[in-house]
């Protein structure tokens, strides 16, 4: 196993029992220029926000300086079923609340709401949430600018997106990430954010 993966498994006290094969395999997905901040086994529920359609997937997840990737390795198949989320597309993060089963880390993107079951250990859950929030705040804005540069007609927006603010929702305490120049709205209770 890679040294960084080993170190993170230890740091987040991940029980690899039953998941060691998947964790080993997901290492092939790590890009050469990707830096990892969290890796874990995590069963996930992906909800399409438009249609309400739900998909459950066991598997492993990692958070890097570029994205959040979940990979499921179905038996008798060599190819993983992947769900990938750009850091700048994640704008609400939540680990507590009446709509969320305990031990889950939830986040929202423009198209999906994702719930990962990670751990019942509250302190560790907080550490994982903090890691995701910090990673997005640090790398999200630059990635967002880069994505806009691909489309020249959107270049004007680049000036506005130099930083991200981390705002706790006054209504439900979900953590929201708001890019500068954008209006924040809590994904979980729909409040506008100051
Ligand atoms: Zn809220």
DSSP state letters, 70-119: EEE--TT-SS-EEEEEEGGG--EEES-STTS-TTEEEEE-SSEEEEEE--
Cα of 91 to ligand 1 centre, how many Å? 12
Whether 190 maps to a domain, the answer reads no
Indicate the Cα dihedral angle 123, 127, 129, 134, nearest 10°: 150
pLDDT per position as a tens digit, 79-118? 899 999 999 888 889 888 767 888 999 999 989 999 999 9
Residues 54-83 have a mean pLDDT of 94
Cα of 178 to ligand 1 centre, how many Å? 13
Cα of 136 to ligand 1 centre, how many Å? 19
Is residue 150 scored above 80 in pLDDT?
no
**CATH number of the domain enclosing 109:** 2.30.29.30
Ion ligand 1 neighbours (CB, 5 A) are 169, 171-172, 174, 186, 188-189
pTM: 0.85
Residues 13-41 have a mean pLDDT of 94
Whether 17 maps to a domain, the answer reads yes
126 membership: H or E segment, kind and range: helix 122-149
**Bridge partners (DSSP) listed for residue 176:** 92, 167
Whether 104 maps to a domain, the answer reads yes
Tokens of 22: 């998947």
Whether 129 maps to a domain, the answer reads yes
Q: Indicate the pLDDT class of residue 176, thresholds 50, 70 and 90.
A: confident
pLDDT at 54: 96
With contact defined as beta carbons under 8 Å apart, do 141 and 161 qualify?
Answer: yes
Whether 46 maps to a domain, the answer reads yes
Largest interatomic CA distance in the chain: 50
Parent domain of 18? 3-179
Q: How many structural domains does the chain have?
A: 1
Whether 167 maps to a domain, the answer reads yes
Is residue 42 scored above 70 in pLDDT?
yes
Cα of 93 to ligand 1 centre, how many Å? 10
Whether 187 maps to a domain, the answer reads no
Q: Indicate the pLDDT class of residue 76, thresholds 50, 70 and 90.
A: confident
Whether 189 maps to a domain, the answer reads no
């Amino acid at each position: 196993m890679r040294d960084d993966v080993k170190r993170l498994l230890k740091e987040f006290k991940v029980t690899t029992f039953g998941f060691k094969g998947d964790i080993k395999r997901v290492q092939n997905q790590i890009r050469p220029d990707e830096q990892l901040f969290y890796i874990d086994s995590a069963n996930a529920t992906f909800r399409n926000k438009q249609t309400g359609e739900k998909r459950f997937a066991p598997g492993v997840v990692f958070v890097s300086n570029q994205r959040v990737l979940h990979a499921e390795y179905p038996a008798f198949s060599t190819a993983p079923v992947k769900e990938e989320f750009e850091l700048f597309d994640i704008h609400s993060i939540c680990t507590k609340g009446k709509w969320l089963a305990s031990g889950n880390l939830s986040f929202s993107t423009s198209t999906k709401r994702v719930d990962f079951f990670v751990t019942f250990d509250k302190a560790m859950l907080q550490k994982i949430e903090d890691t995701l929030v910090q990673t997005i705040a640090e790398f999200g804005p630059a990635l967002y600018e880069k994505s806009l540069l691909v489309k020249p007609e959107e270049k004007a927006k680049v000036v506005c997106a130099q930083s991200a603010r981390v705002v706790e929702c006054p209504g439900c305490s979900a953590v929201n990430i708001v890019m500068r120049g954008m209006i924040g709205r809590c994904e979980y209770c729909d409040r506008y954010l100051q």
